[in-house]
Each structure stands twice: as C-alpha cells, then as structure tokens.
Structure 1
C-alpha cells in the first residue's frame, strides 16, 4: 500500500514538473511569437492572401495568442509591483477605456426606443410595410427587418457596456457575505474573483466565440481542433460566406454581428478583470484611504446624490 502511494506521489510530482516546464516554455516562446508576428504582419494581415486569413483565424484562438496576452499581463504586473504609479496608471487607462466604450454604446438604448416608436408609427398609423432611411442612397427594408434589428441594439448594450457597469458599481452583487466582511477581506475577494472567475470565463468565451464567429464568415468552416497546417490546406478552397440568413424571409440578416459582439464582450471582460485585480491589490496595500481612488463615476448632478447607487 505504501509503495503504491509512493508511486502515485512520484507521478503527481512528475506531472506538476511537466506542467511547470510547459508553462515556462510557453511564456518564453511568447516573446518570439509576438516579435515574429510584429515583424511579419503580411503573414496574417494581408487578407488578399487566403493563407493569411487562415493564419489570423488560427492564432486568434490559439494557445500561442493566449500566452502572449498572459505574458503581457505578467510583465505589466511586475512593473506595477516595482513602481506602483504604473499600476495605478493601468487602472486609470483600463477603467477609462471601459467608461468611454460604455458611455458611447449606452446610447444604443435610446436608439432602440426611438426606432421602436418609428416602427409603431409607420406600421400602425401610416400602414406602410417598409421603412426607407438614407440620403441619396436610401436603406429600404421591411418593417420586420427593423423590428428584429432592435435585438442588435440590445446586444450592444449588454456586451459593450458590461465593463462600464462594473466601473460604475451598477452590476448585481450578492452581498450576503461580501457586505459584512472587513475592508481588506473585500479586496482579497475582488482579487480572487478577478483571477479565478472573470479571467477564465472571458478566455473560454473568447475561444469558443472566436471560431463560432469565423464559422459564419468563411468556408471551409474552421474548427477549434484544427492545427495550423490543416487550416492552411483548407485555405486553398477558402471563400467568404458571410451569414445573411434571418429568422424570417424579410427579417434582419446581419446576425454575424452578434458573433463579433460576443468576442468584444469577452475582450472587455478580460481587460476589466485586470483593472479589478490591480485596483483591489492597490487598495489592499494602501488601505481604506485609497478606496475608489481615481474612480470616474457618473453623477446625476448636484442634489441627486440620494439616487446615485440606488440602481
């Protein structure tokens, strides 16, 4: 029995050693992969070459790309640990990016309401089956096209405003435990949540969403299990086949845009997870006086403070 346990322990240690070695190798190779991609942009950005398209598809969801991003995160974290203002600068840039994108695409909610009002007026009052919008070259589509397009505006708000809502504190938090713990414990929970939940979730959504997107843009359809050499072989028969099928004959036919938004959502969540981790770490180190430091939160104006944060 003891001999079997010893053999099992050796196997576990060997597996851990191999895992650490593989991690170090991939981190080391990420410098080469990034440098090669930057110095040879035509190999993946010259889309007049079908092989370049397939390389772009492969590397966008590849292990190599993941470790380039992961290594960049490690280097940025190391710089921030050595020089704290750099980490605060990263927080301000990432939160500023989330706020800028969110504040812009939040207007899609207003656009959605206005378009719905237009649809009701045109369909019920003017009894028209279509709407023509444009100057010189009008965009004339059936009413059902504009009605189904409302889902795109809703998707914009959901996917591109998620990080903005997190910065503003408008996300839903289960406070049964979080609200009663100490200041530093909250910061630890935020750091663990960013590393264990936000980042892995964003990576998984990106990996599945990336190939899900391209399977609706080109044929032959790429697969997440395809190696680069197989995709390069498929590139001989590559052609664009952008998804334009709607749920109804005259309905909205730009559903490939939802796949793009899915990848954008994953990217926004991953970047903001870095900001959450950095802010929590810095507030943990500097104490309660640094809480919400440099935080750019929206305000309803003077006299409306009682309503802020009530959402």
Structure 2
C-alpha cells in the first residue's frame, strides 16, 4: 500500500510540477502579445515571428497544463453525479475511465505524435509564412510532453484509486492533501 501511494504521489507530483512551471508561460505570452500589439499600433511594424511565438506559447501552456488540470480535478467531469458516490464507487469510476479511455488515448497520441514530431524534425519544418519562426518541431514536441504529463497524471490517479479500493486513505482526505502539497 505504501508503494502504491508513493508511486501515485510521485506521478501526480511530476504532473503538478510541470503544470506549475508551464504557468510561467502566461507571462511570456502576455509580454509577446503586448509587444506585438504595441509594435503594430505605434511603430507600424507587423511581425510574423511574434504572431507565431504567440501561438507557440499558447499551445505549450495548454499542452503542459493538461496533467496539472487532471491532478487538481479541474478537468471536465460530471461533478453532480460524483458528489453522490461514495469513495469506493468514485474510485472504481476513476479507474475505469482512466484505464479504458484516458490512458489508451494518451498512448495513441504519443505513438502517432512521435512520428509527427520526428517528420517535422527531419524536414526541419518551419512556419508556413516565409518570415515566420523556423524549427516547427520544437512546438510540435510540446504535444509529446503534454500528453506524457497527462499520462503520468492518469497513472497517479489510477494508483490513488486502487489504494482507495484496497482500504487506503481517500485522495481528498485533508491529511493526504497536506502530505502531497507540503502545507
């Protein structure tokens, strides 16, 4: 049981750390948008590179935050029904949902995404615009990082749910939350 809970905590901590680090991309995104708007409005200097950079930051922010949102329970779920379930039934539903849908989806995206990124890297793909950013494989690799983070979060949630079924503490127990966050 201790190993199961420790592995769940580890996978969830990885997803949480990556999501918290990715949150700083908001600052870069806002700065890029401000610079782009100011340079277009007052200097009359449009930059395709800045526009490309905006969507690169936005995509990276979204993809790297997927696992964090799942770990923190901020993803889409039917909370009205889940609130009525006991911890064991909620754990079964979490296991079934993650094991049957989320994990296979992540594996498929990672499998095909690898070929997608590899092809972009080998071709040294750049922006569709002549004056855009080069090395499009960098942003495409965020797809792999994001779904690997989401997969780690799913494995952590499955491990937590198995621990609940085996009689361990429920992940929503304040003592468990206290240990995970260090508060």
Distance 1:101 1:290, change over 3 A: closer
Aligned to 1:146: 50
Among 110, 126, 131, the alignment partner of 1:206 is 110
Distance 1:122 1:294, change over 3 A: same
- Maintained 8 Å contact 1:168/1:297: no
Aligned to 1:89: 6
SS of match in other structure, 1:165: helix
- Maintained 8 Å contact 1:167/1:297: no
- Maintained 8 Å contact 1:168/1:298: no
Distance 1:289 1:153, change over 3 A: closer
Question: What RMSD over aligned residues (CA atoms) do the two structures have, in Å?
Answer: 2.2
Question: Aligned partners of 2:132 and 2:124: how far apart in 1?
Answer: 16
- Maintained 8 Å contact 2:64/2:146: yes
> 1:162-188 CA deviation, whole Å, 9 max, x = no partner?
111112222121235333322211110
Among 141, 151, 157, the alignment partner of 2:61 is 157
- Maintained 8 Å contact 1:102/1:161: yes
Distance 1:121 1:215, change over 3 A: same
The farther-off stretch of 112-121 and 250-259 is: 250-259
Aligned to 2:28: 111
Question: Aligned partners of 2:181 and 2:75: how far apart in 1?
Answer: 13
> 1:94-119 CA deviation, whole Å, 9 max, x = no partner?
11111111101111122111110111
Question: Aligned partners of 2:55 and 2:37: how far apart in 1?
Answer: 16
The farther-off stretch of 247-256 and 163-172 is: 247-256
Question: Aligned partners of 1:294 and 1:160: how far apart in 2?
Answer: 25
Question: Aligned partners of 1:190 and 1:90: how far apart in 2?
Answer: 17
Unaligned runs of 5+ in 2: none
Distance 1:89 1:121, change over 3 A: same
Aligned to 1:166: 70
Aligned to 2:156: 275
Distance 1:289 1:146, change over 3 A: closer
Larger radius of gyration: 1
1:99 counterpart = 2:3:
no
Question: Aligned partners of 1:298 and 1:172: how far apart in 2?
Answer: 26
Unaligned runs of 5+ in 1: 1-83, 130-142, 219-240, 300-311
- Maintained 8 Å contact 1:283/1:291: no
1:265 counterpart = 2:169:
no
Question: Aligned partners of 1:258 and 1:190: how far apart in 2?
Answer: 31
Structural mapping, 1:189-268, within 5 Å: 189-218=93-122, 241-244=123-126, 246-268=127-149
Count of residue pairs the alignment pairs up = 180
Report which structure shows greater RCO (CA 8 Å, sep ≥6).
2
TM-score (normalizing by structure 2): 0.87
- Maintained 8 Å contact 2:169/2:176: no
Q: What displacement does 1:289 show?
A: 5.7
